[in-house]
Amino acid sequence: MAGTRLGAQYNTGISTLEPGQSLGSAMGAGGKGHNRGLQICVQGLDDAQEFYDLESKADGQSFYSEVLRRINLIESDYFGLEFQNLQMNWVWLEPTKLIVKQVRRPMNTLFRLSVKFFPPDPGQLQEEFTRYLFSLQIKRDLIEGRLNCTENTAALLASHLVQSEIGDYDDIADREFLKINKLLPYQERVQEKIMEIHRRHIGQTPAETDFQVLEIARKLEMYGVRFHPAADREGTKINLAVAHMGLQVFQGHTKINTFNWSKIRKLSFKRKQFLIKLHPEGLHQDTLEFLLGSRDQCKIFWKNCVEHHSFFRLLDQPQPKSKAIFFSRGSSFRYRCTRVIILMWGVTQYCNALLLKVTFPNTGLNSINVLPFFFYPVDSTTDSPQPSPLNTKGPLCLSPSFQMSTLSLPGQAPSPLQSPILNEVGTARLEEDEEGSRKRYPTDKAYFIAKEILTTERTYLKDLEVITVWFRSAVIKENAMPEGLMTLLFSNIDPIYEFHRGFLKEIDQRLALWEGRSNAHVKGDYQRIGDVMLRNMCALKEFTGYLQKHDEVLTELEKATKRVKKLETVYKEFELQKVCYLPLNTFLLKPIQRLMHYKLILERLCKHYAPPHRDYDDCKEALKEVAEIAAQLQSSLIRLENFQKLTELQRDLIGIENLSAPGREFIREGCLYKLTKKGLQQRMFFLFSDMLLYTSKGVTATNQFKVHGQLPLHGMIVSYTVYCCGMRNSKRYAVMHISNSRSSDEVSLEQESEDDMNSSRCSLDKQSHHRANTTMHVCWHRNTSVSMSDHSLAVENQLSGYLLRKFKNSNGWQKLWVVFTNFCLFFYKTHQDDFPLASLPLLGYTVSTPGDSDSIHKEYVFKLQFKSHVYFFRAESEYTFESDGKATFSASLLQSSVSHDPSEIIPIC
C-alpha cells in the first residue's frame, strides 16, 4: 500500500472465494466453523486488497494491529476498519470485541481502511505517509459523492490528485489517466477544467500536492462529514453528523446548526430516539430530540459521538464501575482514546483546578506536574486558595524603544494610550470636523472595501521599506552582509517593492476620483475598483518567481546570522530600532501574506456586488488571478510562518539548540504552573510536533526564557488530577497514552536552581537590550496561550486605517492611524510616520460595544477592556464598524483575538 503512488481504478467489490470454493462452503466457513481460522480481505485507501490470516477468536484490535504492522502506519489513531452490516450501513469494527461477534460472515465481508477522525487541520499531521492516506480518503469521498463542493473546487482537488499520481502535466498522459481513473461522479463534464488547472502544478512533488488537497478539503463544509439520516420533532428530514467540534445538523447539504461539545451536557438514545441534553441557556430548550431509522442506526451514531468526544476532547473514559456522566446507562460501550497530541490548553473548564502529570514509563525519568494557569479565576473575590497575581511592577512594550503597555496590574503603571505624545492639543477634539468630513464620503459599501485596499496597501508598503530602506541602510553602513546574500535578498524584494509603489499610487488616484476630491477634470465612471485590481493582479503574476524564492531568502538569512558575527550584531541591534516594530524576519513574509489579503478583500467585493454590476466581472477575474497565485504559494507560506516562528523562539530561549530542526512544527505557547517541592511555580510552555519545552523567565538583561525541560512526545503519558473547591482529596480522572516510548537519552531535564524559581515571577521592569516584541512575553504576563492556528488567523485579519480614540473622562476624541497586526494595535499620528508611537497588546482583552453605564452616545464605537483598562474607539463608517464584516476593525479583533467558545481555555481576548 505504501509502496506506490499510482492510482488504481475504483473497484466496487471483489469475490473473496478461493479457487474451487463454492458459495455455500464459504458461507459455512463464515458461520459456525470458527476453529479453522479466518481469512479476511481488507481494502486499503489506495483500493488495493490484501488478505489477512487471523485466529478464529481474534478481536478487532489484533486485526487492526496486523493491518497497521503490514502497512507501517505510525499515526494510526486517526484511522479504523469499517464494514457494511446487514442493513448495508457502514459501521466501525470495535477493538475490544471478537470479530465473529460483530460480523456475521467475516470471511465474506470486505473490510476497508478509512479515516475515522478528521482533525480540523490535517496539514499538521507529522508523517508524510499519513497525509498521503488522508488525501486518498479525500479522493474516495469525492468519488463516492460525500465531499459535496462546487465543480470548480472539485476540479481543483482532482487536478492535485492527478499531479500526485502521474506528475507534471502532459496532455496525452492526462487524458489517458482520466479515462481510466474516475475521480468525480461528473468527471466528463469538467475534464478539460481539471487538465487546465493541472497544467499550473508543474514542479509540485507528491507530498506538496497531498498537502494542497488537504488544505483545500479542510475548508469545505462537508469535510469529514458522514450523514446519519434522521427527522426532527416536526418530522422534517435532516441529516446528523459528528465532527471534531461537536454535533452538526444538515438539511440537505446545508449545515443549519452546530452543537459544540461545551454546550452538550449529555447524549443518550432510547430505541430510535436520539437525545441531546444541553446546558441550560435562558429560555432555550435544553433537550433536543431526533428520530433515526432504527435502534441500530441510533446506537451507531451514538457510538460515533462518544468516540469523537473522547478523541477530540482528550478525555479518557471512566473505569467500567465508575459513574459515567456523558454516557448512557443503557450501554456498556467505552472508548479508550490514545491520541498523540497534547492540547492541555484546550481542556474544558469543568472544575476549578486541573493538575496534569507528564511521565515517561520504563525510562527511569521523573515526572513533572503542571497546573494550567487559567483554571483559577483571575479576579476572584472568594477565599479559596489561589496563586498570587504576578508582580508586574513595570510596563512591557512590544517595541523596547518606547514605554507603553497595559500588562501591569491596575495602579502600577500608566496606560499606554495616556502617553503625552498621544495627547497633543493639535490632534485632540476633532469631533465636529470629523462629523463634517464623514458626510462627504460615498455611502456605497464597495467604496469602503476599496478604501480598505488603499489603507492596508499603505501599511504594506511601509513594511516593505523596513527591509528595502532601513535594513539595507544598516547592513551597508556596517558592511555586515555577504555579497551573495545581499544580491539574493534585495534582488527579490526590490522589484516587488517598486511594483507596489506604483500600485499604491494608482489606488490612491482612483479613490480620489471616487470621492470627488481630485482636481483633475476627467470624464468617466470611476466609482469602481475592479479594473485597477484586475490590471495589477495580472501584473503581479510576473513576480511569482520572486515570491517562490522567499523560502530560500529566509533560510539563507538565518544561516548567515549564525555564521557571520557582524551580521548577527547588526541584525539584533536593528530589531531594537523603533521602525522594526515586529521581529525582522516577519517582514519577509509580508509579500506572500499580502496575496491572501487581496484574495479575501476581492471575495468580499464579489460577494457585495450583484453579477449585473459594472464592476463585478473585473473583480471576479481579479479574484481568479490572485487565487491562482495564492494557491501556488499557500504551502510555502505555511512552511515560512512555521520557520519564522521557530527562529524567533530560538533567539528568545536559552538552553535549546537547533530549534528549527527539519520536520518540527510549532503548535502552541502558553503559561502553566509547575508543581514543585517549593509549591506552584509559573512556567512558560512551548508545544511542538515532537516535543514539549517548559521554561522560566529570568532576570537576565537579554529578557529571554530559560529552558528547564525538553520532553519528547513519543512515550509520554499525560494524566490529570481534578481539584474542586472544598475538596481536600484529589480524584484521578483520566490517563492518556501517547505513542510508543523511546530511550531515556532523548530527554534532557535540567535541575532548577532556587534563583531560577524565584526569578520566574519577575516582570519586565528594566530597560532591556533584547527585544520584547514577541507574543510569549504577553502570554507570560496575561496568563494565556496562543496556537499556530491563532497566528494564522491573526495574519488573515491584519488591518490599518484611521480611528478616533476617546480621551479618558472627557468627551474629546483623538484621530490616530492604527495598524492591527500580530495580536496588537500600533498607534501612529499619521499614516506617513515611520514608526509607531505606542502599542496595545490585545491578548486577554475583550471586544464589545459600550453599555449604558459608559455614557457614550456616538455611532460606530467599540470597547476594549482588560480588567480595569478600558478604551473606546470610534470607526469612520458603518462598514468599518459592522460586527459581521471580516474587513472591519471591530470584527477583525473579534475574529483573531476573541475565543467565542467559553469552553476553550484560550482567553486571547
Q: Backbone phi, then psi, for 687, in 5-degree steps?
A: -105, 125
Query: Which amino acid does the sequence have at 517?
Result: R
Give residue-wise pLDDT tens across range 165-202: 999 999 999 999 999 999 999 999 999 999 999 998 98
Average pLDDT, the chain: 75
- Burial of residue 786 (CB within 10 Å: 0-12, 13-18, 19+) is buried
Dihedral sign, CA of 570, 574, 575, 576? positive
pLDDT at 892 over 80: no
> How sure is the predictor about 135, in pLDDT bands with cuts at 50, 70 and 90?
very high
Q: What is the mean pLDDT of residues 771-778?
A: 70
Q: What are phi and psi of 672, to 5 degrees?
A: -140, 170
Range with the poorest average pLDDT among 238-247, 475-484, 586-595, 872-881:
872-881
**Lowest-confidence pick of 265-269, 513-517, 697-701:** 697-701
Domain 38-115, architecture per CATH: Roll (3.10)
Helices (H), 480-615: 483-515, 530-540, 544-548, 550-563, 565-575, 590-608
Sequence-ordered alpha helix ranges (H) in 267-378: 295-313
Distance separating alpha carbons of residues 874 and 876, to the nearest angstrom: 7
Q: Yes or no: say if 9 and 182 are a contact pair by the CB < 8 Å rule.
A: yes
The answer to whether residue 781 scores a pLDDT higher than 90 is no
What is the enclosing helix (H) or strand (E) of 163?
A: helix 151-166
Q: How far is it, in rounded angstroms, from Cα 442 to Cα 171?
A: 50
- Predicted confidence band of residue 812 (pLDDT cuts 50, 70, 90): confident
Is residue 815 very low, low, confident or very high in pLDDT (cuts 50, 70, 90)?
A: confident
Is it the case that residue 309 has pLDDT exceeding 70? yes
Calculate mean pLDDT across residues 464-487. 92
**Could you give the CA distance from residue 37 to residue 42 in angstroms, rounded to a whole number?**
16
R_g over Cα of the chain: 29
> Is 203 in a helix, a strand, or coil?
coil
| Helix (H) or strand (E) segment spanning residue 793 | helix 788-796
Q: Angle at Cα 400 formed by Cα 394 and Cα 402, nearest 5°? A: 80
pLDDT at 341 over 70: no
- pLDDT value of residue 839: 87
* Per CATH, domain 447-517+524-649 is 1.20.20.10: no
Q: Which of 286-295, 441-450, 486-495, 872-881 is least confident?
A: 872-881
Identify which of 834, 791, 194, 2 has the alpha carbon closest to the alpha carbon of residue 461. Answer: 834
CATH architecture of residue range(s) 786-894: Roll (2.30)
CA atoms of 500 and 506, how far apart (whole Å):
10
3-state secondary structure of 848: strand
Across residues 448-473, what is the average pLDDT?
Answer: 92
pLDDT above 70 covers a percentage of the chain that reads 70
Say whether pLDDT at 132 is over 90. yes
> Is a pLDDT exceeding 90 seen at residue 142?
yes
pLDDT tens per residue, range 828-865 = 988 888 888 888 888 888 888 888 888 888 888 888 88
**CA–CA separation, 183 and 873 (whole Å):** 52
Comparing 188 with 782, the larger pLDDT belongs to 188
Q: Is the pLDDT of residue 819 over 60?
A: yes
Q: Is residue 518 predicted with pLDDT exceeding 80? A: no
| Strands 799-806 and 869-874, bridge-based pairing | antiparallel
pLDDT (average), residues 769-785:
72
pLDDT for position 517: 61
- Residue partners of 161: CB distance under 8 A and separation at least 6: 7, 135, 139, 183, 209, 213
Transcribe 2-40 into DSSP letters.
TT--------S----PPTT--HHHHHHHHTT-GGG-EEE
Residues of the chain with CATH 3.10.20.90: 38-115
What confidence category does residue 81 fall into, taking pLDDT thresholds of 50, 70 and 90? very high
pLDDT band at 285 (very low <50, low <70, confident <90, very high): low
Range with lowest mean pLDDT among 107-121, 155-169, 431-445, 643-657 = 431-445
Average of per-residue pLDDT across 595-606: 92
Q: Tens of pLDDT along 19-29?
A: 444 434 443 44
- Residue in the structure block whose three cell numbers are 497514552: 737
Domain with CATH 1.20.900.10 in the chain: 447-517+524-649
**What is the 8-class DSSP label of residue 147?**
S
Model pLDDT, residue 709: 87
Taking the C-alpha atoms of residue 577 and residue 399, their distance in angstroms, rounded to an integer, is: 8
Contacts of 201 (CB under 8 A, 6+ apart): 159, 160, 163, 168, 169, 209
* Residue 347 confidence (pLDDT) above 70: no
pLDDT tens digits along 519-567: 444 445 788 999 999 999 999 988 888 888 888 999 999 999 999 999 9
Mean pLDDT, residues 763-781 taken together:
58
The yes-or-no verdict on residue 653 having pLDDT over 80 is yes
pLDDT in tens, 719-766: 665 444 333 333 332 333 333 333 333 333 333 333 333 333 333 333
The mean pLDDT of 204-225, rounded to a whole number, is 90
| Four-way CATH pick for 227-317: 2.30.29.30, 3.30.1330.10, 3.40.50.450, 3.20.20.220 | 2.30.29.30
3-state secondary structure of 173: helix
Residue ranges matching CATH 2.30.29.30 in the chain: 227-317, 786-894
- What distance in Å separates the CA atoms of residue 1 and residue 71, rounded to the nearest whole number? 6
Opening angle at CA 633, ends 627 and 638, nearest 5? 120
Per-residue pLDDT reduced to its tens digit, 607-634: 999 999 999 999 999 999 999 999 999 8
Looking at residue 791, its pLDDT comes to 84
Between the alpha carbon of residue 427 and those of residues 424, 758, 818, the distances in Å are 6, 45, 14
